[in-house]
């Protein structure tokens, strides 16, 4: 039985913890961490895990795997420490990897200390196809994300702009780096697409759609010998509308796949 520690006790972390049995046999959730200890304690009471508030306390429990569901800030605060301790890490906040220098630091930390950094599919899928097409020579990658105005509310990239409650609006078009700077809680999928395909010039487009009841992501990959179009739609989490509930379940699916005698790539 491998021990798992969870960083993040919010909406997504709560789903992972409360449905941890879906990860299958071989995993045990032993520790949950939140900066506010009371938040971790509430989730710990429901799951039987230990509650901690610092990364040092988490590492003292000697987990085999740490899962992050707490946001880009948590990845940047704790990821390198976990990997340098020789512990495997799974992240959902792939937006942190938009910083290429930081990405290389995590890669080096994992290589140097015998750990692995896993990246969950999150709100989309198709990483298998993206990896395959990357090797075949994908030379044009675009992603359009469609969300309700409330899901975009508060994004730095909006400034003082008030989004329409009746009309569709294109609120952003540009590079992955610009997208994560302006919409850090909304474009994890854009960063994921750029990182997995190794196309730093991935074109990101964000559309505000007042009638949207789902977060939608449409990805196009083109190359001399390939053409793929992938669409993923999922309901926003009712507690945190900036995230899709499917992100939490992608963690559980990954754990199940990782420990299964039959692996789907």
Catalytic residue among 19, 39, 113, 217: 217
Rounded to the nearest 10 degrees, how much is the dihedral formed by the CA atoms of 205, 210, 213, 218? -20
Our measurement of the distance from residue 25's CA atom to the centroid of its chain's CA atoms, rounded to an integer in Å, reads: 23
* Sheet of strand 140-147: strand arrangement: 169-175, 203-208, 140-147, 215-223, 226-234
| Three-state DSSP state, 174 | strand
Backbone angles phi, psi at 255, to 5 degrees: -60, -45
Question: Burial of 56 by CB count in 10 Å (0-12 exposed, 13-18 middle, 19+ buried)?
Answer: exposed
Neighbour count for residue 65 (Cβ, 10 Å): 20
Strands 226-234 and 215-223: antiparallel
Neighbouring residues of 43: CB distance < 8 A, sequence distance ≥ 6: 9, 13, 14, 17, 32, 34, 49, 51
Helices (H), the chain: 11-18, 37-47, 55-60, 72-84, 100-113, 127-136, 149-152, 176-182, 188-197, 246-258
Q: Which residue has the tokens 């040092």?
A: 56
Is 227 a catalytic site residue?
Answer: no
Q: Which residues are catalytically annotated?
A: 217
């Amino acid at each position: 039985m491998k021990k798992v520690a969870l960083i993040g006790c919010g909406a997504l972390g709560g789903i992972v913890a409360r449905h941890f049995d879906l990860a299958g046999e071989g995993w045990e959730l032993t520790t949950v961490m939140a900066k506010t200890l009371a938040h971790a304690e509430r989730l710990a009471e429901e799951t039987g895990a230990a509650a901690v508030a610092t990364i040092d306390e988490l590492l003292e429990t000697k987990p085999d795997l740490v899962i992050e569901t707490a946001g880009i800030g948590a990845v940047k605060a704790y990821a390198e420490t976990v990997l340098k301790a020789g512990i495997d890490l799974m992240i959902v906040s792939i937006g942190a990897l938009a910083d290429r220098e930081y990405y290389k630091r995590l890669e080096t930390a994992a290589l140097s200390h015998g750990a692995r950094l896993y990246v969950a599919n999150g709100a989309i899928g198709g990483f298998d196809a993206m990896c395959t097409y990357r090797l075949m020579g994908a030379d044009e990658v675009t992603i359009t994300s469609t969300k309700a105005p409330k899901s975009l509310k508060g994004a730095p990239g909006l400034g003082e702009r008030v989004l329409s409650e009746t009309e569709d609006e294109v609120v952003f078009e540009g590079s992955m780096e610009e997208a994560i700077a302006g919409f850090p809680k909304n474009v994890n999928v854009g960063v994921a697409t750029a990182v997995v395909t190794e196309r730093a010039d991935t074109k990101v487009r964000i559309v505000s759609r007042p009638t949207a009841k789902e977060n939608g992501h449409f990805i196009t990959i083109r190359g001399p010998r390939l053409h793929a179009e992938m669409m993923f739609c999922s309901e926003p989490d009712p507690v945190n509308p900036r995230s899709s509930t499917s992100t939490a379940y992608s963690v559980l699916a990954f754990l199940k796949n990782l420990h299964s005698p039959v692996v789907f790539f």
